[in-house]
Amino acid sequence: MTAGRSGQGDRHLATKLPAIAAFALGAWAVALGANAADTGDEGSPQSREIGSLFTRGLAPLDLGRTLTADQDAQTCRDCHTAIWEEWQQSQHGQAWTNGIFQREFRTQPLDWCVRCHAPLAVGGADSVGPIPAQGVSCAVCHIRDGKMLASSKRAGSPHDTEVVAGLETAEYCGGCHQFNFPIVTPEKQVNAYTSHPMQDTVAEFHAGARSGQAGQCMGCHGNTPAGHRFPGAHAEGVLEHALSMTVCKAGSEVEVALTNRGAGHNVPTGDLHRHLLLRVWKSTAPERLYEARIGRLFEAAPDGGKVVSEDTSIRPSETRRWRVPVRALGGGAEPINMDLRYVYTVDERPLAANDPGEPTAVVVLAKRAALAELERCP
């Protein structure tokens, strides 16, 4: 592998890609078809503390006085069919069952993992029955103390609805998508966190220009017909919408520019193993491949967790550039290949024994052009 000149301290690795699944970009709770009471009254939002609705993995999720039947997402299906169909295809609906998570969980089966990926379980993995295995289900977001939590209520609804302000905010999503590295005891329990972020998506969002915009996370991740598909990095078209790639020539170098044009947070974000790989090469000289890794790297921290040692993820509206000497790519006067891959796991191409049964990487953007065909860089 030949290293060209890269932007902002990027590292070039022959090894690849991220792990742990990333179940998803945007946990929100649009009112499950909305709402309750047959008064026709929209109701006044209650002052329930949004941050208290989730335990952040430190304890099982307590729904209070809630019937088991009300915890089952199948119960919601008859009245909320379109919502249910979107949800069950989402990463929320597959939070417990998806292959990437299950592969990682087998290597370190902590109760802490269960509390986020199967929040209705009352204990460890052995307590994950059919209902908890539904993952981040309707009840996880919408039921507390026997009441239906919603952003509004609708006349004629059979639910005992509590209108709660803030369900549309990034802070609500942060109940699952913003947390620090856990401190794991010798007994394999997690009772506290370090001071260093493990998933930092909400903080990234608030640091960007879209923080104050209406809709927040749901402006992108709730933009489906029923509002419950929550498309993220695993969904078709989302990464292509978030990133753009332009290529130009600067003398005898090829310049590749990546812009985070569509995401309100960094790309990649979420799971610590996720990263992008930018590759530039000629087909007749694959051994001269140029590769830049884009994402976070970590090192051990004194408090028992990890701390970011390098962060090359692309911030909202940021453009990053890499220049590669064409001579370093070898080959003849042939077109140059460029592609950008999003990797979900630490191993881009896992061995058969470690294959999670679903894609571990996807090509986001690709281009092939001869140097002479490229426009000159501004």
Q: What is the DSSP string of 28-93?
A: ----SS--B-SS----PPB---GGGS--TTSS-----S--HHHH-HHHHHTTSHHHHHHHHHSTTT
Which pLDDT does position 51 carry in this prediction? 77
Output phi, psi for 169, to 5 deg.
-95, 160
**What gap in Å lies between CA 369 and CA 334, rounded to an integer?**
8
CB 176 within 8 A of CB 118: no
pLDDT, tens digit (0-9, with 9 covering 90-100), for 306-351: 999 999 999 999 999 999 999 999 988 899 999 999 999 999 999 9
pLDDT band at residue 124, thresholds of 50, 70 and 90? confident
Annotated domain spans of the chain:
50-221, 238-373
CB 219 within 8 A of CB 87: no
* Per-residue buried b or exposed e for 25-57, using 16+ beta carbons within 10 Å of the residue's own CB: bbbbbbbbbbbbbeeeeebeeeebebeebbebb
Determine if residue 295 is left, alpha or beta; phi over 0 gives left, psi from -120 to 50 gives alpha, anything else beta.
left
3-class DSSP assignment, residue 261: coil
pLDDT (average), residues 74-87: 96
pTM of the model: 0.85
CATH class of 238-373: mainly beta
Query: Given a cut of 70, is residue 62 above it in pLDDT?
Result: yes
